[in-house]
Structure formats: structure tokens, C-alpha cells
Chain A
Amino acid sequence: MKKRGRGIGLSFYGTGYGNGFPDASKAKVKLLKDGKVGIYVGGTEVGQGAKTVLSQIGSETLKLPLDKIIFISEDTSLMPDSGTAAASRQTYNTGNAIKIACENFKNRLREAAREQLKLNAIHGLTVEKGEIYLEFFPQKRISFKELSKIYGDDNIEAEGEFIAQTIEMDPETGQGAPYWPYTFNACGVELEVDTITGLVEIERAVFAQDVGRAINPHLVEGQMDGGFAMALGYVLFEDLKLEKGKIYNNKFSKYLIPTAMDMIQIENIIVEEPEYTAPFGAKGIGEPVMIPVGPAILNAIYDAIGVRITELPVTPERLIKAIEEDGKKKEEI
């Protein structure tokens, strides 16, 4: 028989290393010779879109078009330490570091502009679109390009550091504030279980993810789709066949991850509620997007067949066995 079921899963996720461990990101911003701005951070592009998102944060803070920004994150001899590209922390932590560095950099630019424009002070100087000008007397203006000609490469620069605020937990009671910020989500799925083959087919999925603010909605959706697929593999397909410490399924013909035909369109909903400590309110979502999917699938399987599966992965074989055992148990009663 083919039986349909629906399930929901929720999760929350605390960003960062946590537990009072110094979770620092550093960024460096420099005026380059052609008036472009270099942003140097150790935040790695693993495919998640860090380069793009972090550039957007820099661009927004500097009010400078993206094509005027050079983003360098590859070489330890050039860039400061921005922590690991993990714990969903790059957007929040390194994003904040870039924002701080860019604000500091703007002040360095204002200082330089004050000197060149022979002004008394820096206040009232707006930095925008590659220029610094006095808001109430716009004739007083100077471009990044002109400044870079005067000061040369490497002379106007600023740094920024962001350290997340977390508190170590008590070793006996576990009380403390281990992570910040927290991210929330909910995923609902509808699926069909074939009670003869044990195959589970996902028919529909609705996924709502809190992001604080989406820096780049397409990239958020890409993470949500990818997280869903990874969770689908986790719960239904992937099995290392670990026996006595040996991985028997050590290749892609045996370790099955979802193909395009196993995935479906996901109805992704981005929920925004800016987080006050975050850069433009944006929280990290790289990990959270995988978390609620598995339990939603498991709850939907129960809804379909009335059998709780408490062990992963839910391979067809395990599912059939669970149905059989459940049948026997019910007979005994």
C-alpha cells in the first residue's frame, strides 16, 4: 500500500564557537591605487557565497559599488584571521568585522579628506559612491581616486575586529549563555510511504527559515535547497555501512546521496526579523537549513504508517522491518 503522511520539524541553532571561547573575526580595509577598495578577510568561500555576501556588507557600509571593491580572502600572508568558515558564523562574525573595519576606514578617509580639503573637522563629511564630500557645502569634495593618488597604495587603511559575546557555562549546571545569535526555522513535508517496498517519496515541502535579514535572498534559497537535499540523504539514503571500524560504502556507487531526480521543488520562505547585533540584522543560516528537515520527514512517516522510526537511516529495509515488528507487537496486544 502507498500511504501519505505529513510532518513538521522545528529547530533553533546557536551561531558560533560558543561557550565563551574567543570567537573573533578580523578584517582589514585598504584604499588601493586606482581608488578601489580592498577588503581583506580570512573568511573562506567554501561555496556558500561568503565572498559575495561579505562583499555586499562591505559595499553597503562604504556605499561603494561592488565593482569598486576587491575582495581578498585566499592568502594568509595578506589577510587577517577571520576564524573558520563554520558554525554558520561568517555572515554574522566576519560580516560584523567588515562593517566595523569599513566604518573605521571611512573615518580614515574623512581624516584624509579633511587634510586635503583644508577643513577644520571631519564631521559632516559623507562618504558615498567613491567620494567624500561636505553635506552642507558639496563643492568641498574629493574622490577615492584622488586620495589614492596623493597617499599612494596601502597608506589609507583600517582594521576591524568583532568578538561574539558568549558566556561560558557552569560545569555542573550548564548554566550560561553559550551562543549568540540564535536562528529558528520550521519545515513541513508531505510524503508517501510504500509499505511494500519501504520507499519514501517526498511529495511536497514547505520550509520557513529565519535569517534576521537576507543579505542575498537567492543565496539563502540556495542554502535552503541544499540543506534540504543533504537532510534527505541523511535520513533516507546515506549509509557508510560501518562494520568493525571499516567503512564499506566508501564510494559514490555505494554511498548514495540524492540525485536531481530524488529532489523536489521546495517552497522556501525567508522570514526576516533583523537581529540587532548582526550586520544589517543578518544571521547565519548555513547549518540551520539542514536541521528541521530530517525530523519533519520522520514525523511524516509516522503520520503515514503509524510506526515510529527511531534509528537512522530509514532505508527501505529498515522501514519494512519496523512495519513488520510493529505488526507483530500489535498482534500480541
Chain B
Amino acid sequence: MNLDIVGRNILRIDALSKVTGKALYPEDIFMDNMVYGKTLRSKVPHAYIRIDTGKAEKIDGVIKVLTHKDVPNNEHGVIFKDHEVFCSEKVRRIGDPIAFVVAKNKKICELALKEILIEYEEIEEVFCPIKAMKEDSPKVHGDTNIVYHYKIRKGDVEEGFKNSYAIAENIYRTHMVDHAFLQPEAGISFIDEEGRVTVMVATQYPHYDREEIASALELSEEKVRIINTNIGGAFGGREDISLQIHLALAAKVLNRPIKAIYSREESFIAHAKRHSMIMKYKTGADRDGKLLAMEAEIVGDTGAYASWATNVLRKSGVHATGPYFIPNVKVDSIAVYTNNPFAGAMRGFGATQVPIAHEQQMDILAEKLGIDPIAIRMKNIFKQGSITATGQVLTDSVPLDRCIEKVAEKIDFSLEREEAY
């Protein structure tokens, strides 16, 4: 292929504006007649609430206190509409948004937040996903906490383990983490010259934001406009709605520009986390190190809201084998609600957690069989034409063997080397 520009180290087209500090992020935008907004969030993980905004509304400089009563359609969510724009009756996690204060400046916003009275009637919480799966556990939404159950049933794992010479069994646990992008959430909303509710925000998916805002405000999508500014990192943390609907609603109600900027602390409780997972693995191989069977039960804690839980746990399930051909596979990958911070997309999206398990399983088997970690992998890896656990044929571009060889050329993993455990 004769390529002129593909494959070349073209300088980033946004680099100049970024090295000179001219690149604008949402908090860098100032408009005439602009006021500020700030979110009141739940302080408890599970409770029925009663909201009294009366006192806050009387504070000089407070323009409006928005609550669920002001939202035409008070629901959103990337897959299930299980988030409320503002909690109406129940909070399900610490950090759930309850109200949005609009005031002349940030200080008055802070002051008003303190004057909104929330009566919490606390209810039993559940933080452990295993416990949450039980029938008698407190329910976060509806009548079950199980959001999703993905299964792979391929071959006969019992038979596979019976024929295995070495078996590794372990439970692996990964934790919730934060994207920690450098630019905390911020946005500014206004009504543009064509009457559209416009939100300038740093988002991964502007058209999705437009859809959610239109739905919540019961407007047609043409009446909503998203302008993406520069974005200070995302890594999956800017997929769910954070302040977009709050800002849009405020602009629509007040017909003037409103700006909101999250502090770092608020950013931590506002956006999704990486799913923590409990991964119970059993992997069997024959005497030569050929994998014969794998069984995995993966439980992912999606916290108080589903966000991408179905897709994340599906991705975990599909990738549970690792890049290896295994004839007999049984996977159960389950997403569960709890009263923890909600989990959603983060770099790797469920496929980042499972290798913590399957790659250690490979090394455990290698040790049991007395072969080195490269050898056991080379025996089992996907190659062109391999069939995955879901029955998909990898027809093209499967250079995993080359990747391994490149690494093994530089680092010696053989068992004969000094210091090998």
C-alpha cells in the first residue's frame, strides 16, 4: 500500500493550543450575565428522603433551587434508565444528586447548600455484592440486585478437569478505582441564538448527552446542542451524565448562562468507578501444558446504578479465558447492585480485571507442570483461525505470537536463569 501520511508521526493538531495554554476547557468559558450552579448530594448510602429548600431559596443571591419537581422526565442512564436526574424519594449511594442551587456566585451557592434541609430516613444498606445477590438482602432497585448474568457454556468442563493433569484454583479480587483524569467536571449552559438549550461540556459522547438532555427536558433533539470543549482526560469517566442535565435544565428554566465546576472531591463522588470484581477461577491443563478446561464465576459490583454494567460484565465474561484456546469453558459473569459508588466504564471495561486472574492462573499451572511461563502460553495462544470461547473465528490479524516473541527476546523468562523462583 502506498501511504503518504498514515504511519507518519504527524504532530498533534491540538498540540499548539495546549502548550500555549490557549486550549479552553469548560471552566475557562465566561459569559455575560453568567451565574453559578452547585449540586447537593446525598450524605448517606441508602435512605428515603424529604427535601425542604425553603430556607435556601430565601438567601439573598440565590436564584433558583432545582429539584426533581422541576424535571419533566426525571430519569437517565446509558442502558437502563435507573438514575434520577435528582433523587425524588430515595437515595442509593453517597453522592446521589438531590438538588442544584443556582446563585449569583460560588460562595452563595455553598451557603445555600448548607440551608437545604434533607431529612434522611435511613434504610438497611448492602455493600457486599455476594450478600446483595441473596434473596433476603436489601434491594437497591426493584426486587433483585442482580442486574445481569452472562453465561458461556462450551464443551464439558467436568470432563475437561477430569482429564487435566494440573489444576489451578483461586479467588481473585480487584477493587474499585477512579479515572483520576486531571480536569474535574465542569460545564456551562445557555440558550443559543436559535433558541437551543446549549451545554458546553467535556464529554466522551456529545450526541448521547444531547439525547439524554432532550429526553429529560422533553425537548426534541434539534432543540438541544452540545459543544464539546477540550477535554482534560476521560478514560471512561465522562460517559455517564454528570452535570449535563442539571445545567441544561437550569438554562432552560432561567434563560441565562449557568456555569458549574466540580471540585476534585466532588469529581470523585460524581462519576462512575471501575467495577470491583470477585473472580473465582478454576483452570486445568494436561501434562504438556495444553489447557483443557476453565471455569470462572465473576461477580462485579456495579454499585448503586447499572451504568454500563451489562456490557462490562459481558466483556469480562467474553475475555475470561484470556487469549487462549480452551475446549471446555464455563463462565458466569454477574453484575450486582449495591449501595457503593456506581461503577461504569473505565479503560479496559471489564477486560482489565479478568487478566489479573487468568494470567496468574497460567503461571500457577506452569509452575505445577515445571514449564516456563512463555512455553505454556505459546502452547495455548490464539493464532489465526483460532476459535474463541464464544465460538468466534479469529480470521485475521492475530499477531500475539509475535508480541510474545518480542518480549521474550528482551527478557529471559526461562526456568534455568538465576533468581527464578
Contacts and interface: CB of A to CB of B under 8 A. Distances in A.
A135 B217 CA distance: 56
Contact of B391 (A12, A175, A209): A175
A288 B352 CA distance: 8
Contacts of A204: 411
B100 to A, nearest CB: 20
A75 B225 CA distance: 7
B289 interface: no
Given A245-B340, A312-B174, A175 B403 contact: no
Nearest to B364: A308
Contacts of B402: 208, 210, 271, 273
Nearest to A3: B419
A179 interface: yes
A206 B410 contact: yes
Given A269-B406, A306-B421, A308-B364, A83 B347 contact: no
Nearest to B168: A308
Contact of B152 (A14, A174, A238): A174
A178 B314 contact: yes
A238 B127 contact: no
Max chain A C-beta neighbours (<10 A), residue from B4, B265, B274, B421 = B421
A60 B2 CA distance: 10
Contacts of B311: 17-19
Contacts of B373: 7-8, 299
Contacts of A66: 5, 10, 13
A173 B331 CA distance: 9
A242 B176 contact: yes
Contact of A60 (B5, B152, B170): B5
Contacts of B374: 8
Contacts of A296: 359
Contacts of B314: 18-19, 169, 178
Contacts of B176: 240, 242
A175 B391 CA distance: 6
A6 B407 contact: no
A42 B207 contact: yes
A86 B268 contact: no
B400 A10 contact: yes
A295 B355 CA distance: 6
A233 B178 CA distance: 10
Interface stretch (B61-69, B156-164, B231-239): B231-239
Nearest to A69: B13
A201 interface: no
- Contact-residue size bin, chain A (C-beta under 8 Å from the other chain): 35 or more
Interface in B306-344: 311, 314-315, 317-319, 322-323, 331, 338-341
A181 B349 contact: no
B152 A173 contact: yes
Interface stretch (B28-36, B52-60, B198-206): B198-206
A174 B317 contact: yes
A138 interface: no
A246 B229 CA distance: 31
Contacts, number: 376
Nearest to A303: B421
Given A46-B234, A52-B10, A52-B14, A246 B377 contact: no
Contacts of A214: 7
Contacts of A250: 264-265, 268-269
A273 B397 contact: yes
A286 interface: yes
B226 to A, nearest CB: 5
B399 A75 contact: no
B175 A47 contact: no
Given A206-B407, A246-B94, A184 B398 contact: yes
Contact of A295 (B14, B236, B265, B356): B356
A74 B202 CA distance: 10
A219 interface: yes
Interface of B: 1, 3-14, 45-46, 93-94, 125, 127, 150-154, 170-178, 180, 196, 203-208, 210, 224-236, 238-239, 264-265, 268-269, 273-274, 311, 314-315, 317-319, 322-323, 331, 338-341, 345, 347-349, 351-352, 355-356, 358-360, 363-364, 373-374, 377, 381-382, 389-392, 394, 396-400, 402-404, 406-408, 410-413, 419-421
Given A44-B231, A206-B410, 9 more contacts: A5-B421, A8-B408, A8-B411, A42-B207, A74-B206, A77-B196, A175-B152, A176-B391, A294-B352
16 contacts: A4-B419, A8-B359, A45-B14, A66-B10, A75-B228, A86-B205, A210-B403, A242-B340, A252-B264, A267-B410, A271-B402, A272-B399, A278-B397, A295-B360, A298-B360, A310-B173
